Structure 1
Amino acid sequence: MKLPFVLFASTALVLVSRETYAQGSEARTIQLDEVTVEGTREGQGGPITADGYVATSSRSATKTDTLILETPQSISTVTQQQLEDRKPQTLQEAVSYTPGVRVGGYGFDPRYDAFSIRGIDVTYTGVFRDGLRQVNSPNGLFRLEPYGLEGISIVRGPAASIYGASSTGGIIDLISKRPTFLPFREVEIQTGSYGRLQGNFDLSGPVTSDNTLFYRLTGLVRQAGTEIDAVPDDRVFIGAAFTWKPTDATTLTILGEYMDSTTGGTAAYLNNYATDAAGNPTSLSIGATRVFAGDPRYNDYRQRQGRIGYEFEHRFNDMFTLRQRTRFSALGTNQEYVYGGSGLTRENNWGIVSDTHLESRLRMGPVDHTILTGLDVSRLSYVSKQGFDAAIPVDVDPILSYREDQTQTLAGIYIQDQIKWQNWRLTLGGRHDWLTSEYDSARFEFDQNDTKFTGRAALGYVTDFGLAPYVSYGTSFTPKALLIRT
């Protein structure tokens, strides 16, 4: 059930009309001109500008407000309208129709948002949230609630020249819902297969009469099963955002989120590949079955996660604009599973990420420059404890006999120049990163200190009929400290 602001406006008009009529039948009739009010739910000039399914500009590829047609890089965008129409329940479903993105490579597994871009797995190294790196640990990956998003940008190809350590396949930038100028109210109730029952709401609008403070509150509660009886799909999600805009030149937005989700510790099916002495399948070999390989009595995977951060922007004049984004995030997991014995993994991670850059727009003769200079820093720490025992009862936790922990810091400085001359668009960028990492476990420990320079050069030509051919070259890197352990 959707209750857009137009409904409330109409109700107010009816109330006023009745009050006028109540003053007496002798009241003079006044003929008013017809007034048409149109509004949208789009944010306040956020990272994505779109018209329905078609995005016209995005900050994800360049960190500046650049038309997608004039960006010499392959970009796809899942807009707010598309998310509303398709109602995806996972990140994989949200990007499943995006060119170059492959989902479902691991089969049915609701524990992680795993996918690849251009054949390269980007689950750990290619996910960004609101332009900031999403820090993860080996068993602690942030899960996404699509209802909390207003858009998704998929940038294909190397983006390390402004984002630092990331995959050569590209990155995916998840854009959180932000407050809207106009009042908006939405309440939904959903039901579906496997006993699915879900309720969610989305509220937004101004807080003060002078239109300097705006809010948005988004929530979701779901209780559901899946195709495997022992694997639930339950979650509670709440997202809050506040925007303070004291002047047209200054904007501060606070973004927060919390989610408590429970699914299965393992989603494995039983496989029966019986072979003879020569390795050939026998009559007993039936391959993959529909039989659950775990034990429903000990198969919960519960994860609690939260984020809090801000985005600040100040435009000094038509030439200089300063932006800063900072976010703190933390999560905790408790994974129970049975596979040849009882296993338990408990992991906690926390991290802080910050990006500050100055955008300078200037004109030199017939050439326009948009120069971006910035610094970003991220720091992650995690602790993982694991236990496994094949001899204990199924409903008993094994002793957490193995522990590992790691702390890593990644800092980078970057510069980018977007050059515009007539129909030509030239983008040049470079970045230098410093990585430090400390790892400690029961088996070994190591320290790592690395530096890396990455760059990008791209040239495009924007035609008058909407075609923009381009050539692009870029480099990227992924330090071993950012990869999942094996």
Structure 2
Amino acid sequence: MNDSKHREITTMKSSLPAPLVATILLIGSSQAIAESAPQAFDIPAQPLHSALQKLADQAGVAVFFTEQQVAGKSAPAVKGRFSSREALQKLLTGSGLSYTFTGESSVSIKTADSGSDARTTMPAVTVTGKAVYDPTDPYNPDYRLPNASTATKTDTPIMETPFSVQVVPKQVLEDQQVVRLDQAVRNVAGVNTSSLNQGTTDGFIIRGFQNNITYRDGMLLPTILGGGTTKREMANLERVEVLKGPGSILFGRSEPGGIINMVTKQPLATPYYSLQQQFGSYDFYRTTIDATAPLTNDDTLLYRLNLSYENAGSFRDFVDNERVFIAPVLKWNISQRTQATFELEYQHFDETNDPGITNIGTRPANVPINTALHEPLLSKNKGDRVLVGFNWSHEFNDNWKVSHRFNYENYDFSTMSLFFGAASNNGDVDRFLNLGPENDSSRYFNSLNLSGKIDTAGVHHQLLFGFDHFIIDDKFVGNCCQSAPSYNILVRHI
């Protein structure tokens, strides 16, 4: 019996080098050891077998392993306050070994495939991400907007839209400090400014077609006699969406090249306040304010207010501009499925009509770029624009929704301008005068849409039924095309 016992002990010693076991009496169960309170460890980086010895000494546990398991392996430094389990995990990092508690104060090191009870507990990992993507969040710096409404008049992912749609998001407008619409759409392939894009008109060429018609939240913004009234203010624009190709099936009057739709900022439940001051060349000064927040504790009433003031000169002689813009919006969340929005825009403009530099033959005239062919006292565009809007929507259920939008817009302005054609070879330019001292333009717009989602034979469909009604009432007092004194572009005038 004694011989048998002696042989058993000898077998165990032959598999464990004598100095690799350190034992200190520790009262408690294996679960208590595994969840022991943090204590101080100071184990330098060293071979794994000696690091395990250090851990046994400092933790007060017995650690069992074989020489073959730890041969050639190193352990990282462990310094700080950890539980016994945490300290052991750090020492075994990258070694391919695991462990298990075999008694009240003993731990057995195992290879990854040494048994079903072998395990390696990974340290806790914290994952931070967005639970919900909100493209209207004023603090969201993303450049990518996954959805656009212009192509289908529904909030549809661009990847699922069978049209070419490109969005210029809020972050791009802020990064580029955009103050005019042409500065925004230059980010869109296939869209260029045209000869109509002058002092009082937004004019573009989209896929080769001339276009000076734009949309605001899906509402047509017509121009007067193709000449425009004033350039669109950007202070309250959330983003600009460009639909390339024919869109008349949804928008009625549009050019075949595409549609530029400006999406305005709406009231938010997240408070946001911004004051911005811009300075630029040629006495350019622009101040903007953007504020939004709830008016009630339950977010039933929300508001948004955008203001801007601009005063600017130009690299062109006798050109200056002054603009004032105010745009308050009030949103009423009647219920979770019903909302109504009231909005107002007021814009005052006092700007110079600048026809630019003429051409001689097929080339621009070789004159200084600041040369002006207009008369300062006869080249003014001054007036006011007022827009009043009301829109509401109601969701019958998760699939069906009805929405209605009504906008009234009025322009009251006076305009005087000179225009001309090409210059002769000696530099003479024939100029003509357009006088419009009293102009009034009123526009009425109604849009009623019913959208829904249905499934047929496993195929998902989005449906849209809509009706638009548009009235323009323009009144002009003035005359056009009278001859004005000629001008020689090559002679220096003082």
Q: TM-score range by the shorter chain?
A: 0.5 to 0.7
Quick one: which of 152, 155, 173 aligns to 1:62?
A: 152
Quick one: which of 452, 464, 489 aligns to 1:372?
A: 464
TM-score by length of 2: 0.64
**1:55-86 alpha-carbon deviations (Å, 9 max, x no partner):** 10011110111100000110000111111111
Q: Which residue of 2 aligns with 1:316?
A: 396
Secondary structure class of the residue paired with 1:147:
coil
Contact 1:343 1:387 (8 Å CA) reproduced: yes
1:154 aligns with 2:259: no
CA distance in 2, matches of 1:142, 1:234: 12
1:88 aligns with 2:178: yes
The within-5 A match list for 1:200-215 is: 200-215=288-303
Higher helix share: 2
The within-5 A match list for 1:69-468 is: 69-103=159-193, 105-106=194-195, 109-124=198-213, 127-138=214-225, 139-141=227-229, 143-269=231-357, 287-290=366-369, 291-338=371-418, 340=431, 342-346=433-437, 347-387=439-479
CA distance in 1, matches of 2:357, 2:474: 30
CA distance in 2, matches of 1:119, 1:391: 34
Distance 1:108 1:43, change over 3 A: closer
Contact 2:135 2:145 (8 Å CA) reproduced: no
TM-score by length of 1: 0.65
CA distance in 2, matches of 1:39, 1:208: 26
**1:111-158 alpha-carbon deviations (Å, 9 max, x no partner):** 21111210111213xx11101112332144453111210011100111
**1:218-275 alpha-carbon deviations (Å, 9 max, x no partner):** 00111110111312132101111111112110111222211111221233336566xx
CA distance in 2, matches of 1:391, 1:156: 41
Contact 1:231 1:299 (8 Å CA) reproduced: no
Identical amino acids, percent of aligned pairs: 26
* Count of equivalent residues: 342
CA distance in 2, matches of 1:58, 1:226: 36
Bigger RCO (CA 8 Å, 6+ sep): 1
Contact 1:136 1:142 (8 Å CA) reproduced: no
Contact 1:222 1:235 (8 Å CA) reproduced: yes
Contact 2:196 2:202 (8 Å CA) reproduced: no
**1:300-357 alpha-carbon deviations (Å, 9 max, x no partner):** 2123212111221110112321111111111123222346465422432111111111
Q: Which residue of 2 aligns with 1:10?
A: none
Distance 1:353 1:108, change over 3 A: closer
- Tell me the amino acid that sits aligned with residue 393 of structure 2: E
Q: Which residue of 1 aligns with 2:94?
A: none
List runs of 5+ in structure 2 lacking aligned partners. Answer: 1-127, 420-430, 486-494
Contact 1:254 1:310 (8 Å CA) reproduced: yes
CA distance in 2, matches of 1:233, 1:189: 17
CA RMSD between the two structures: 3.0
Q: Which residue of 1 aligns with 2:48?
A: none
Return 67-76 or 377-386, whichever deviates more. 377-386
**1:84-104 alpha-carbon deviations (Å, 9 max, x no partner):** 11111211011112011011x
Secondary structure class of the residue paired with 1:54:
coil
Residue 45 of structure 1 and its aligned partner are, at CA, apart by: 9.2
Contact 2:320 2:351 (8 Å CA) reproduced: yes
Which protein has the larger Cα radius of gyration, Structure 1 or Structure 2? 2
CA distance in 1, matches of 2:276, 2:465: 43
CA distance in 2, matches of 1:246, 1:52: 31
CA distance in 2, matches of 1:362, 1:191: 52
Q: Which residue of 1 aligns with 2:40?
A: none
